[in-house]
Amino acid sequence: MNVQNPIRPGVATGAIPGSRKVHQVGSLWPDIRVPFREVAVHPSANEPPVTLYDPSGPYTDPAIEIDINRGLPRTREPWVVSRGDVEIVSNPRQVRPEDNGGASGVHLAPAFDTPRRVYRARSGATVTQLEYARRGIITPEMEYVAIRENLRRQASDPTLRDGEDFGAAIPDFVTPEFVRDEIARGRAIIPANINHTELEPMAIGRNFLVKVNANIGNSAVLSTVADEVDKMVWAIRWGADTVMDLSTGRNIHNIRDWIVRNSPVPIGTVPIYQALEKVGGVAEDLNWDVFRDTLIEQAEQGVDYFTIHAGVRLAYIPLTAKRVTGIVSRGGSILAKWCLAHHRENFLYEHFEDICEIMRAYDVSFSLGDGLRPGCLADANDAAQFAELETLGELTRVAWKHGVQTMIEGPGHVPMHKIKANMDKQLEVCGEAPFYTLGPLTTDVAPGYDHITSAIGAAMIGWFGTAMLCYVTPKEHLGLPDRKDVKDGVIAYRIAAHAADLAKGHPAARAWDDALSRARFEFRWEDQFNLGMDPETARAYHDESLPKEAFKTAHFCSMCGPKFCSMKISQEIRDAAAAQNDVAEGMADMARRFRDGGGEVYVPTGVPTRE
Amino acid sequence: MNVQNPIRPGVATGAIPGSRKVHQVGSLWPDIRVPFREVAVHPSANEPPVTLYDPSGPYTDPAIEIDINRGLPRTREPWVVSRGDVEIVSNPRQVRPEDNGGASGVHLAPAFDTPRRVYRARSGATVTQLEYARRGIITPEMEYVAIRENLRRQASDPTLRDGEDFGAAIPDFVTPEFVRDEIARGRAIIPANINHTELEPMAIGRNFLVKVNANIGNSAVLSTVADEVDKMVWAIRWGADTVMDLSTGRNIHNIRDWIVRNSPVPIGTVPIYQALEKVGGVAEDLNWDVFRDTLIEQAEQGVDYFTIHAGVRLAYIPLTAKRVTGIVSRGGSILAKWCLAHHRENFLYEHFEDICEIMRAYDVSFSLGDGLRPGCLADANDAAQFAELETLGELTRVAWKHGVQTMIEGPGHVPMHKIKANMDKQLEVCGEAPFYTLGPLTTDVAPGYDHITSAIGAAMIGWFGTAMLCYVTPKEHLGLPDRKDVKDGVIAYRIAAHAADLAKGHPAARAWDDALSRARFEFRWEDQFNLGMDPETARAYHDESLPKEAFKTAHFCSMCGPKFCSMKISQEIRDAAAAQNDVAEGMADMARRFRDGGGEVYVPTGVPTRE
């Protein structure tokens, strides 16, 4: 339907410096190959390599040739088909001009042209991971996730548990059965549309590693297809676990096709954005038919989770009238406008069971949107926000009844002392369905730095139990993120997520920090760079101070210079202490013995005491 | 003493965009003029200007001509002299070659040549703010601080208290008497050497606004005088409340002179660094005489607080031997090496009362150093760290006995779940003396991003009661910060400090956020930039998306474009709701009334429903 030449967007490929892609195969499902990022350390360390979680997909695997025009390998397709409960859609929905906002000619983004089959559940079937889990079935997706969460630790490995988990139930070792049980009780989800067979499955749940979502997407103002695919690949390269395509302008359909076909991570969308586009941007003209059509369009494309703002009920809208910043969710405000204009209950709330019926036929997961989230500290934890949250709890139970996987979106802007109440209330009213929060931002006063204002809140709410953190970039409130902003946002949120895992005492979390700290103490500079979240930046910063290669093995830091190096002195102390044979013995005794013997600590050990 | 031409380092001057310098005069002391940064908002807002705390000094005051070679005006000199308890030092210590590390010729940084008088206490006198406070004297410094902390709020202004302060005693309004009382009981300090008369006094204490320190300083490897003065001015421009000069290479004395004479904020140092330089960098050769000489040298220069690692006791050193990263404090490791080499108790501990006698003669405050702070998560809250903290509590009581103002340094690297224990223990063992922490970093794995890993911990420990946060820059662990790093570090820490003030419910904190949020909601873009922590960056980011001037008043954001703007829709909702006359009335009733009347909400109010 499009005669333009296919685009060839450039995306970043190749391994992260110092890392290599490794795989672990399944036991129950021997054809699954779970990817990890392995960082080897210098032989002098006499340590095994460090295994890191790796959502970056085939792009960081030199063994795989990337062709954006073909899309990623459809590895999951046999898994989906072999379950015997799906059918090929003989008459998939055809793309219509309004799907791309009426774009035409040179303004129409090229279609993704590589053909594929479209699947849906056989009549009456529920093809969700939740349904399988309830039936006691461990799917390949579940074993994949179990292997992935263990980071190549073995069940027999010693486990360090040091944290406060606020009542979570993180196991020492994740078994496929544990995953199945968490999915069955709704405490975790594996967003995995049967039409997104390029997916490398991942889990979102309080008892798994904390995940990070990155938002991309064009707008009526800015951005192109190539930029968005590039941003998706860039976001997962630095650690985004899922990506939401929040496009709102033209070409929504075609951009999404390119993204889904090339994405190894779950893709989320907010279908109301495209539905609104289809009715010319007039909120009052939205209706169930156009929304339903959009759900099917996107479910057939392979979108893994939908933000549905069904909790913005008519009765809650007046609760926002005296807020400082009213309704700041785009979806929330669109629906509020619809409700007010018609003076009717939100049609997404009224059609919620119809929506469930569609989503369970493709295993699209709910991300129940917090359309009434606070947009500033003054509005945090107010009546509107918590009224909606209670409705999201009610809708969670409806979704579960229909077998649809569900997570819950959360705020927003919240001062530190009001963060925990959000988590506690969510756990209480939503039956431990995974919480998925935007930040929260802990102050309103730093536009340009909201990746930091919000990383503070994100780390805390992640610690308290949030399963996935939606990143905020430095451009928040100011503009659409570019490539640099995407990376800055993802890394700030990887920091928050990992800090949360550490504080929860996740047994797979601390080994990474300890390996890097040992490298730091032993002046293994290359190891310190390679083990860092961003090896390129760490190396570049070190090079600014000490650019010479020789300094990469120097036994001092660029901060202090050789004479004052605390790490160096500290190593001498350790050596000296070790030479005493009994470190645990009281120092007073040691000193007396030394004084008695006229001893000089460094003389007998031969450790140099001067530079 | 130096024949080179005076240097003229370039420093940033001029107002922060959108701000102007205003002053409030004293009541008890009419000659004090306390500076603030005032941000006026657009007349359409019909709001008073916002007053922000302003540590940037005369550099942001267009009315004052800056001449780095002359130094800042010595405003405090009459205050100091008029107390009648100081004398001019007739034979001040003369600069010796070793004070500058033996630098000579072209390698010797020029001396700061503008002459000044050197003061010390008359024989036997204690000239500290603590001593005055105990005697019931409200000094100009105390009234200055009281005015400063109120941010031009009046005692009669309505007070918003919304926070959790963990037992702090933050008043609704800060009176000079409250400041005096906090100083007298040791719960706050005003670092203000009688020889640093260029100072604009500020307070560090749990019941005042949370403060931020920025470290600068050259090393044996890098950096020049001009760079350091520029960094000091740059750091306070973005909000550093104190600056530590951690220089360790040559020219330490001369660099410090330039910094102190041009600094309106308290300057802290770690005298052991210079003492070590004087003994050729050999820790074992350190002794009381050279240390004492260094204290007097720096006290006469006007350094406001000294980090003294007197808590690194001999008996604690073996407790660090099995740590992952040993001793990471430079001062701590130097003293540990000295202790081990001599097998003697730390001479700073043994001479602690002698140190007090010197410091009380100039009102230099203690910053009792945490030489055994953890350098990685694995070492957090261990026996070595807490043993030292208990000794710091013991030393606090000794310092107080001698009338010396005291604060306590804290960690370091600490996972989130172990942060509060640090604060609780410090409050308990140090009698509520102000806590001054480095971060803490909440994960070890993000070199290049440690301003973020640590801003998370800093915000939390600030909330829990820490009085001042020592910044960490993106270069931490990798190199010395440059100008960009200094700004990034300061802003990350201003965010952390303000987030802490908000969570504590500081009555002067929230007005800023609310003013910015109202500007955001009302699309007052210029106000949003100007009220931001960094107006230049906020504006630049917005310009990247919507560069045209017209968009600065556009009633939509660059993120969504005009059709999808949630703020715009939300305003329409507010207008519509207001038109109903009774927002509080149940929406169901409203809807019924509207349906009964066939009403269309926007028709009667005339609000446009389309773009």
- Structure tokens that stand for B70 in this block: 């002359």
pLDDT at res. B411: 94
Quote the crossing angle between the two packed helices B419-429 and B450-464, to the nearest 10°. Answer: 50
Q: Which residues of B touch A573 (CB under 8 A)?
A: 317, 320-321, 326-327, 333, 336-337, 340
Q: Which residues of B touch A558 (CB under 8 A)?
A: 219, 221-222, 478-480
A435 - beta bridge partners? A408
A603 close contact with B: CB closer than 8 A: no
Name the residue among A491, A496, A492, A532 with its Cα closest to residue A515.
A532
User: Residue B278 to residues A87, A609, B253: CA-CA distances in angstroms?
Assistant: 82, 17, 11
Buried b (16+ CB within 10 A) or exposed e, B191-207: bbbbbbbbbbbbbbbbb
SS3 B506: coil
In B, minimum Cα distance to A221 occurs at B561
Q: Which residues of A touch B281 (CB under 8 A)?
A: 563-564, 611
Q: Has residue B70 got a pLDDT over 60?
A: yes
B537 close contact with A: CB closer than 8 A: yes
Measured CA to CA, the distance from residue A90 to residue A256 in angstroms comes to: 22
Residues in chain A: 611
For residue B126, the distance in angstroms to the closest alpha carbon of chain A comes to 34
B564 close contact with A: CB closer than 8 A: yes
Q: Has residue A610 got a pLDDT over 80?
A: no
pLDDT at res. B36: 98
Measured CA to CA, the distance from residue B204 to residue A291 in angstroms comes to: 57
Q: Which residues of A touch B520 (CB under 8 A)?
A: 325, 375-376, 444, 477
SS3 A396: helix
Q: Has residue A599 got a pLDDT over 50?
A: no
pLDDT in tens, B562-578: 555 677 777 777 776 66
Residue B604: cis peptide before it, omega within 30 degrees of 0: no
pLDDT in tens, B375-408: 999 999 999 999 999 999 999 999 999 999 999 9
Across the range B565-592, mean pLDDT stands at 59
Share of chain B above pLDDT 90, in %: 80
Mutate to test the interface with B, among A452, A521, A602, A603 (most CBs of B within 10 A): A452
Angle at A268 between CA A377 and CA A57, to 5 degrees: 115
pLDDT in tens, A309-343: 999 999 999 999 899 999 999 999 999 999 999 99
pLDDT in tens, A252-302: 999 999 999 999 999 999 999 999 999 999 999 999 999 999 999 999 999
Q: Considering chain A, what is the average pLDDT of its residues?
A: 90
For residue B285, the distance in angstroms to the closest alpha carbon of chain A comes to 11
H or E element, residue B428 = helix B419-429
User: Residue A209 to residues A331, A422, B254: CA-CA distances in angstroms?
Assistant: 29, 20, 52
For residue A336, the distance in angstroms to the closest alpha carbon of chain B comes to 8
pLDDT in tens, A440-464: 999 999 999 999 999 999 999 999 9
Measured CA to CA, the distance from residue A461 to residue A468 in angstroms comes to: 10
Q: Which residue has the tokens 């005492």?
A: A505
pLDDT in tens, B137-150: 999 999 999 999 99
**Residue type (1 letter), B372:** L
Angle at B252 between CA B246 and CA B253, to 5 degrees: 125
Q: Which residues of B touch A544 (CB under 8 A)?
A: 475, 479, 482
Q: Which of A413, A479, A532 is opposite residue B446, by nearest beta carbon?
A: A532
Q: Considering chain B, what is the average pLDDT of its residues?
A: 90
Residue B597: cis peptide before it, omega within 30 degrees of 0: no
In A, minimum Cα distance to B610 occurs at A282
For residue B16, the distance in angstroms to the closest alpha carbon of chain A comes to 15
pLDDT at res. A376: 97
A-B contacts at Cβ under 8 angstroms: 479
A589 close contact with B: CB closer than 8 A: no
Say yes or no: ipTM exceeds 0.90.
Answer: yes
A417 close contact with B: CB closer than 8 A: yes
B164 close contact with A: CB closer than 8 A: yes
Q: Which of B340, B480, B562 is opposite residue A559, by nearest beta carbon?
A: B480
For residue A579, the distance in angstroms to the closest alpha carbon of chain B comes to 11
